[in-house]
Amino acid sequence: MNFLDTVPAIRRIETSRDDLLAIDVVGHVSAADGENLFGLMEAAYALHPRIDVLVRLVDHDGVDWANIAQETLKQGTAHAMEHVGRCAAIGEPNWIADARHLLRASLSIEFRHFETEDEASAWQWLGARPTEKQQGRG
C-alpha cells in the first residue's frame, strides 16, 4: 500500500457559514469513507439543528454502499431528513433523483444539481463561499 491509498475520499471544505457542511468527494468512496461522512454530518447536527450541505464530486468513482453497516445507513438517512434543509450537488454523476427516492419521506430537503462549471451558482444558492485557503479549488 502506498501513501495515496490512505487519503480519505471525503474531504471537508471550510466555508463562510458555520451551518453549512461542504465536502469534496474524490475518487472511490470506501465503507470507511462513508462512515466518516456520517460522522461529519452527526458532528454538524450536534452544533446546528438545521444545516445545508454542499457536495462537490471530483473524479467520482462509486461508493461501497454494501459494505456500510445497514444501521449506519438507516440512522444517517433518518438524521438527514431531520436536519438538512438544502443540498447542492456539484459535478457528475447527478445523484439527486436517487437521493430524492431514498429520502422520499422528507419533503423538507431541497436538492439542486449544478454542473462543475456552474459551481459559483451552487455557493450563491447556499449563501456561502469557500474560505480563502479553499478558493483555489473552485
pLDDT tens sequence across 27-60: 999 999 999 999 999 999 999 999 999 999 999 8
CA–CA distance, 3 with 25 (Å, rounded to integer): 18
Q: Say how many C-beta atoms besides its own lie within 10 A of residue 46's C-beta.
A: 9
Could you give the count of Cα atoms lying within 13 Å of 90 in the half-sphere of its Cβ? 23
Question: How many domains in the chain?
Answer: 1
**Residue 69 near residue 102 (C-beta atoms within 8 A):** no
Indicate whether 105 pLDDT > 70: no
Q: Which CATH number belongs to the domain containing residue 72 in this structure?
A: 3.30.750
**Residue 24 near residue 58 (C-beta atoms within 8 A):** yes
Q: What pLDDT sits at residue 98?
A: 79
Q: What pLDDT sits at residue 19?
A: 98
CA–CA distance, 14 with 12 (Å, rounded to integer): 6
Assigned domain for 136 exists: no
Average pLDDT, the chain: 88
Q: How buried is 96 (Cβ within 10 angstroms: 0-12 exposed, 13-18 middle, 19+ buried)? A: middle
Indicate whether 10 pLDDT > 60: yes
Assigned domain for 137 exists: no
Helix residue spans in the chain (DSSP H): 31-47, 70-83, 96-102, 119-125
Assigned domain for 134 exists: no
Per-residue pLDDT band at 133 (split at 50, 70, 90): low
Indicate whether 128 pLDDT > 80: yes
Q: What pLDDT sits at residue 138?
A: 46
Q: Show the domain range for 39.
A: 3-129
Assigned domain for 53 exists: yes
Q: What's the whole-number mean pLDDT along residues 88-107? A: 80
